[in-house]
Amino acid sequence: MTTSGAAAPTAGGMGRGVTTDEANLIARGVAAAVAPPGGLEPVQVSLLGAVHAAVIGPPVDFATLEPLGPVELAAALASRPTTFRHRVVHLMVLGELILRPIPSEVARNVERYAKALDVDDRFVRIARRYAQGAFGLAWLDLHQSGFADHWEHARMDQLKTNVRLEDQLAAGVEDIALAERWMSFAELPPGTLGRSVWDLYRSRGFGLPGSVGGASAYLAQHDFVHVLADYGTNLDGELEVFALIGRADPDPKGFAWLATLIGLFETGYVADAGFFTGDLRERRLDRVEMHVRIADALRRGQHISDRLDTDLLDVDYHALVERSVADVRAELGIEAKSGAAASAGSPGAFDRAGMSRIQQEYAESLGGEEAR
């Protein structure tokens, strides 16, 4: 929709063609939807501002925006498709998920906006569960809002495993043929995707998929993305990689990844996701630098979605392991990190700063380049 006097479409706007005026209306509506009774929290101002500038339009100060009601926002976005409006609602959910606790007023307000935008979204209900303290019900909703779909739709031939999908999250599931396939990546030339993923695993002591205690074939898909997107494997890096993966999914259900990681590592709303366990000793999203890094991951994911129109976890990476990382990046449309993300300290997949303390200690025990 182009409002009266609107400027030209902003570059990289959400869903393409977002005008400056429209972007401002979205920001006003999102800010009004997620503001606690005393006004937006500083962490909301920073994170939402970073995300808005990365994926929607020109930078705005979320602390000074004039509120825009749900009816007015719905009218402004009436010509936009459901998926676009769905993404706007997810911005609201992101703005409330970083609050602990979530004020009940905020949860109810986001519901009002979602209803006005004619978006029926489980994440809105999940946030309400959090606000009510019903964490068990929230996790059930969250699981059904994205994860179950991912497991059910994954193709066995793509994952190169005969292990039943319902066992894919289990640790210690042995699949000798799969483990041997991953072992063969060590024989590929340096710089290829397969060899790079092998190097990632070796440098951190990760168990190979198919080996006892190794990652499931499905979850290992995201390790290819660690290499291709050049994100570290500590918890900050996991937030970045799953923000990118979630936004790259053309289906809004991909938001489940970021919602879960925030609930798990940041706010404690999710205690255990089956493949990660929460650790709340450090609030990662209290840091402005992480806001910039998450926003840039969403920007990169949005570009991939526009170009590829495929869930990154549905890509058959095993068919690409002999190709160079650079070639696969180009084919999938994985852009480089922004200068802002680099300045905010986003380390690469093989940088020491991108490893957890335990991973660093393991790499140092190997000596040589593994510990760089």
DSSP 291: H
Residue 122 has pLDDT above 50, yes or no: yes
What is the pLDDT at residue 44? 97
Give residue 143's identity as a one-letter amino acid code.
H
Q: What is the DSSP string of 174-224?
A: --HHHHHHHHGGGGSPTTBHHHHHHHHHHHHTPPPTTSTTPPPTTTTHHHH
d(CA 141, CA 257): 13
Residue 141 has pLDDT above 60, yes or no: no
**Beta pairing partners, 353:** none
The residue among 72 and 287 whose pLDDT is bigger is 72
What is the pLDDT at residue 161? 52
Over residues 237-265, the mean pLDDT reads 86
The fraction of the chain above a pLDDT of 70, given in percent, is 75
| Of the candidate ranges 125-134, 252-261, 269-278, the one whose mean pLDDT is the lowest | 269-278
What is the pLDDT at residue 267? 55
Residue 129 has pLDDT above 90, yes or no: no
What is the pLDDT at residue 253? 85
Residue 15, by phi and psi: left (phi above 0), alpha (psi -120 to 50) or beta? Answer: left
Contact of 86 with 119, CB cutoff 8 Å? yes
**Beta pairing partners, 272:** 277
Contact of 34 with 95, CB cutoff 8 Å? yes
pLDDT in tens, 313-323: 999 999 999 99
The residue among 15 and 123 whose pLDDT is bigger is 123
Over residues 259-263, the mean pLDDT reads 75
The residue among 305 and 213 whose pLDDT is bigger is 305
Confidence class for position 285, pLDDT limits 50, 70, 90: confident
- 272 Cβ contact partners less than 8 Å away, ≥ 6 residues apart: 264, 278
Q: Mean pLDDT across the chain, nearest whole number?
A: 82
What is the pLDDT at residue 191? 98
Confidence class for position 132, pLDDT limits 50, 70, 90: low
Residue 347 has pLDDT above 70, yes or no: yes
Over residues 165-192, the mean pLDDT reads 80
Residue 325 has pLDDT above 50, yes or no: yes
pLDDT in tens, 26-71: 999 999 999 999 999 999 999 999 999 999 999 999 999 999 999 9
The fraction of the chain above a pLDDT of 90, given in percent, is 61
Residue 149 has pLDDT above 90, yes or no: no
What is the pLDDT at residue 283? 62
Residue 328 has pLDDT above 70, yes or no: yes
Q: Which of 138, 39, 45 has the alpha carbon at shortest distance from 95?
A: 45
Highest mean pLDDT among 152-161, 209-218, 258-267: 209-218
Confidence class for position 85, pLDDT limits 50, 70, 90: very high
What is the pLDDT at residue 336? 97
What is the pLDDT at residue 49? 98
d(CA 190, CA 202): 14
Confidence class for position 111, pLDDT limits 50, 70, 90: very high
Torsion sign, CA atoms 168, 281, 292, 230 = negative
Q: Is the peptide bond prior to 101 cis by the omega test (within 30 degrees of 0)?
A: yes
Contact of 371 with 360, CB cutoff 8 Å? yes
The residue among 28 and 235 whose pLDDT is bigger is 28
